[in-house]
Structure 1
Amino acid sequence: MSRADALTPAQIHRVLKTCQLMQHSEGKRCAVALSHAALRVTEVALLKTEHILFANGKIKEEIHLPASICKLLKPRTVWLTNKTSRAIIQEWVDHRLVKKWGVSGRAEFQGLIPESRFLYTVRGAPYSLQPKPRKLDSGVVREYWACDSLEQAMREIYKKCGLPSASSHSGRKSLCTNAVVNGVPIETVARILGHASPETTIDYVVIQPKRIEQMCGIDWF
């Protein structure tokens, strides 16, 4: 599993603010917001407009991810109820309309083509995937598809924010850690992340020494 750091709410806010100073800021902020809604980087890259928007243009609160874009072909649901995330997603939709990326000219889906990829690169093209080998515990090597370009872009975002150990996987780890710290049952978090067992979810909880200090009020010096 990735050794990516989990971010505190303050760090997530700082990352989103810093993105506003970067090129293609709307797309980068949207990618970060979606990753912190528990989407894996390849799911973000393959997400379609119709997965995010209703035909009437409203942003969905429950996103049903089809098996075709999910790890191990297991469909699942993620939730987009965070107000900041929803505002960032709308900013990205507005940006696509201005750039005329995947537009239909019709009123449905806010004027976007429903089958179009939701996220685009700075050049106005969907992110591409590359085949990669994965060695299973059994020793069998299987091929899977990954979006290295979006993964690298997100690593660069975090690096510029002074978070060199963060990656696209930090979104899922941050959601898990912050939820558990705030008392959400681990079984609920497992369902959000799409884990078959809460034991897998426990490995996603990353409690940094500074956070322990804040929680316990311990003076380490």
Structure 2
Amino acid sequence: MTDKEILHNIMVIMVAGYDTSSALITFVLRLLSKNPAVYKAVLQEQEEIAKSKTSGEPLTWEDLAKMKYTWSVAMETLRMVPPVFGGFRVALKDIEYGGYVIPKGWQIFWASNMTHMDESIFPEPSKFDPSRFENQKSVPPYSFVAFGGGPRICPGNEFARVETLVAIHYLVTQYSWELRSDDHYIFDPMPVPTQGLLLRIVPKKEK
């Protein structure tokens, strides 16, 4: 590979392989802190899985498949606070949209909030409601685009699912936390709480 290709691959690994997942987990913790009923349901699901494990026994693929509600929580978090808020595509042919003609070859920027926060697709879009994703077939195609869509969908979406579910499992079963600051967040370019996510975290064995 050329030096430029090496640099671009390093950037992909650092941004897509780390920053996006850490942003998702950050906002899952924030939203669980603000929604006790959702937190209780996630905790119940994860404790049921934990009960089936011996001390130190790792999670399995089958365990992850049981974390359906937890993943719905993650999907709703991605809908409301997507780590990647948009991306570029190239028009393969002339397109007429909304009375405008987009010529073939033009570069188009798509923004996830245009569909994620569209109340005709997601009623009460500002409300945190993981039940929207309990039946993912009910979500219209290409309206939830946290991972993009089509042939160029994020190749790491399954890896992101695994690492997020594993992290949430150990966080909710082994720790409790309190949100100490509910400050606003900015996009820089990914969503970041302006003061960081200030939490008081306590191991459950010490409570």
- Shorter-chain TM-score bucket reads under 0.3
- Per the normalisation by structure 1, the TM-score is 0.26
TM-score, length-normalised on structure 2? 0.27
Larger strand proportion, structure 1 or 2?
2
Q: Which has the higher contact order (CA 8 A, sep 6+)?
A: 1
Structure whose CA Rg is larger: 2
